Structure 1
């Protein structure tokens, strides 16, 4: 599954600016967290419209997703205008699948950030929603010009919560499965570690190969 992540604004377009924060900085931080978290799921390819502070036209952002043949497009923004809370948008002509994805992702984001006003699941003729050929969602994550919201947005922990909500929503909406985790070394109840020696080799090269295989699977391996 290909997911394109779009950090709103960038370059000479800072987006909304207030309370010592710039929208373009917050959106790129959130998007990078989302991308990193999505890498923990099977069969997910994460693409970005931007990974640094550069300006892109709205049509360019949609074109990146269309050219990649993405399965889902997510555009992340921070709101302004004196309000408070979270809202999400799909295009007015969005199909039933896109609306279903919005319902799930919107709910998970609100659950993750906690204690935020739900401003609703909305529709708008935004260019990145209109010009993308796949299901697309735009999120507005609190208000940069609201002091209470801004105090949260200035916290890296809170940005991680926002990202986590997006990821949980995407995973739930698309039925993504987490990658299998390697089994960590386990300590026995007495707190001691016990070494298990597996085989003896007259050829050091064979011993090194086994040690490397064990390390790949998360087990400590020492040649003695």
Structure 2
């Protein structure tokens, strides 16, 4: 049986111990490890449902296990693959997209990274550059997980916490949908790599978001423009979300199934997932 080590980036104490790995929004700390843990838990479920054995040495929502401890353990366990889950950050808020790192001489790791990029694109998400980054000595890409493992290893960065749109997916109102989608992307790439036909069991939260109108009346918009008014909707009406919350000129919008856009202001709408 194929055995995959799901490597959860960082730990629940990384931020407080001065390691960064998160962002602050409106005085609130959002820790990368929390997102990584959610994705890992869903990926674990999907892989097991497809007949793949899994190992989680770094436990979700738990204190950080050091990198050397991790790779020593993976090597001792002789797993078939190490799959590391992260979210990115940048000094530029315009940086966005998803990518995978692989050791520069590891052809099989590159092949798996390519499968990840394909699945990201198939799901309709953007990549950071080409989405493929070789991990090399003497540069910032010299990543421990890619370098010190004896087996195929890929480290994924699943969006930028510092980008407004990606932040909403990673930590905001779009999180349930995004976690489910990213875990599925990972599982599909891994199954393809091992020649396993991926089957989605439909378990867990579907992640579909809905908007209920709280105001007596509320404008919708033809485009993502506050001046491009369309029709008025009324209290109690419910709409299916097809695009997660995103920033538009001083506020936030959702796109709904009709193609129209609507405010994301919680004073006027309630968003829920089922």
Query: What pairs up with 1:160-179 in 2 under 5 angstroms?
Result: 160-177=180-197
Structure 1 unaligned blocks of 5 or more: 182-224
Establish whether residue 30 from structure 1 lines up as the match of residue 39 from structure 2: yes
Structure 2 unaligned blocks of 5 or more: 16-20, 136-141, 202-274
What's 1:101 paired with?
Answer: 112
Query: What pairs up with 1:132-211 in 2 under 5 angstroms?
Result: 132-154=149-171, 155-177=175-197
Greater share of strand:
2
CA-atom RMSD, angstroms? 1.9
Runs of 4+ in 1 over 3 A off after TM superposition: none
Greater C-alpha Rg = 1
Which residue of 26, 29, 50 corresponds with 2:58? 50
What's 1:111 paired with?
Answer: 122
Which residue of 21, 35, 39 corresponds with 2:48? 39
On the 8 A contact 1:32/1:51 being kept in 2, the answer is no
On the 8 A contact 2:117/2:127 being kept in 1, the answer is no
Task: Deviation per CA, 1:60-95: give whole Å up to 9, x if none.
Answer: 11122111110000011000003111111001222x
Task: Deviation per CA, 1:14-62: give whole Å up to 9, x if none.
Answer: 32224342101000110111010001113x2100122231111111111
Q: TM-score, normalised by structure 2?
A: 0.61
Greater share of helix:
1
Q: TM-score, normalised by structure 1?
A: 0.74
On the 8 A contact 1:109/1:169 being kept in 2, the answer is no
**Total equivalences in the alignment:** 178
